[in-house]
Chains A and B, each alone.
Chain A
Amino acid sequence: MKAGVVVFPGSNCDHDCYHVLKHVIGAETVFLWHKDTDLQGVDLVVFPGGFSYGDYLRCGAIAKFSPIVSEVIKFAENGGHVLGICNGFQVLTESGLLPGALMRNRGLKFKCEYVNLRVDNSDTPYTNMYADGEVIRIPIAHADGNYYIDEEGMKELEENNQIVFRYCDDNGTAEDDSNPNGSLGNIAGIINKKGNVLGMMPHPERCAEGIMETRDGYFLFESIAKFIGGCK
């Protein structure tokens, strides 16, 4: 697997993603500059967390007009794998690669904390190392993670099993008191219908090594690396 991490002005988790992919997973990894149009033959594109274009207008709204994103949209339409984390998830919804929108947190605060996630779909290229219903702990760090979609869209997400992660309590119950931001249905991460584009608000790259509080994020990267193959 060759991975590319997109760098927008204001990205700040790009090096974390690069580190995990290159040094922990052992994948050939390159940075992809936002003004570039050459994806350098990567198999996986990662939109990292941060504040692309200063979060001006809306989070991710300006990024969708950058040269690299137009290329990534074509890449995804041709079946290429795209992972969006935090601001990357916002870029994916703004650019139409994933349905719905991410709004200001219900409590209006920037939330930076570990949360429990329930894996609701382990049958994706990104979650095949987890088990269905497994509770994992991955940190969030965002002010705009409040997932919204209209009723019809929600029905479609559920029917196609596109909801991959939900915020939950220690027992895996996804109810309002374990919802950090007001997301509909406690949604923390979704995948597109085709199954090649995943967006999530929590940061798996921040907990992918033994020295971290958990190592639960590692398995997301290992899942996609194994799915695409050719690492280590």
Chain B
Amino acid sequence: MVSDIKNLPIQVRLKSEINIEKVSLMKAKVYVRLKNGVLDPQGQTIQSSIERMGYDFASEVRVGKVFEIEVKDESCRKDLEKIASTMLANMIIEEYSIEFEA
């Protein structure tokens, strides 16, 4: 496969190589959410809007964040934990979890 690419014109070749690189990437997803017991006025407002839409099944809404980070492999987990706990989440009010997705 790689040797085939080398025979292609440079513009096509670069594109193919980038695509190959992209295929091998995976996604780290860092979820940040408010801790239990921390009031979430945004969530409450959204919940009451859901009720106004006529649905009555939602008993609580909590708003969080997802950070999608492209990474090579899962070896960055430890570093991501450091990044999440010192920057992405404020550990006084929030907690985080990390998932990897191929």
Chain A contacts to B: CB under 8 angstroms: 57-58, 61, 65, 93-94, 99-101, 103-108, 148-150, 182
A149 to B90, CA, bound (A): 12
The answer to whether B90 and A101 touch across the interface, beta carbons within 8 angstroms, is yes
A104 to B41, CA, bound (A): 8
Does B87 count as interface, using CB distance less than 8 angstroms? yes
Chain B residues, Cβ within 8 Å of A61 = 87, 90
Q: Which of B42, B88, B90 has the most CB of A within 10 A?
A: B90
A231 to B83, CA, bound (A): 43
| In the complex, the 6 A-B pairs of residues with the closest C-beta atoms, listed nearest first | A101-B92, A101-B93, A106-B41, A101-B90, A108-B41, A148-B93
The answer to whether A100 and B92 touch across the interface, beta carbons within 8 angstroms, is yes
Chain B contacts to A: CB under 8 angstroms: 38-39, 41-42, 45, 87-88, 90, 92-93
Chain A residues, Cβ within 8 Å of B41 = 104-108, 182
A149 to B93, CA, bound (A): 8
Distance to closest chain B CB from A185 (angstroms): 14
Distance to closest chain A CB from B52 (angstroms): 16
The answer to whether A94 and B42 touch across the interface, beta carbons within 8 angstroms, is no
The answer to whether B42 and A104 touch across the interface, beta carbons within 8 angstroms, is yes
The answer to whether A65 and B93 touch across the interface, beta carbons within 8 angstroms, is no
The answer to whether B42 and A149 touch across the interface, beta carbons within 8 angstroms, is no
Since A106-B41, A149-B92 are in contact, a sample of 13 more A-B pairs with Cβ atoms closer than 8 Å, ordered by chain A residue number, is A57-B87, A58-B90, A61-B87, A65-B87, A100-B92, A103-B38, A103-B93, A104-B42, A108-B41, A148-B38, A148-B93, A150-B92, A182-B39
Chain B residues, Cβ within 8 Å of A108 = 41-42, 45
A23 to B88, CA, bound (A): 40
A105 to B44, CA, bound (A): 13
Chain B residues, Cβ within 8 Å of A104 = 41-42
Chain B residues, Cβ within 8 Å of A101 = 90, 92-93
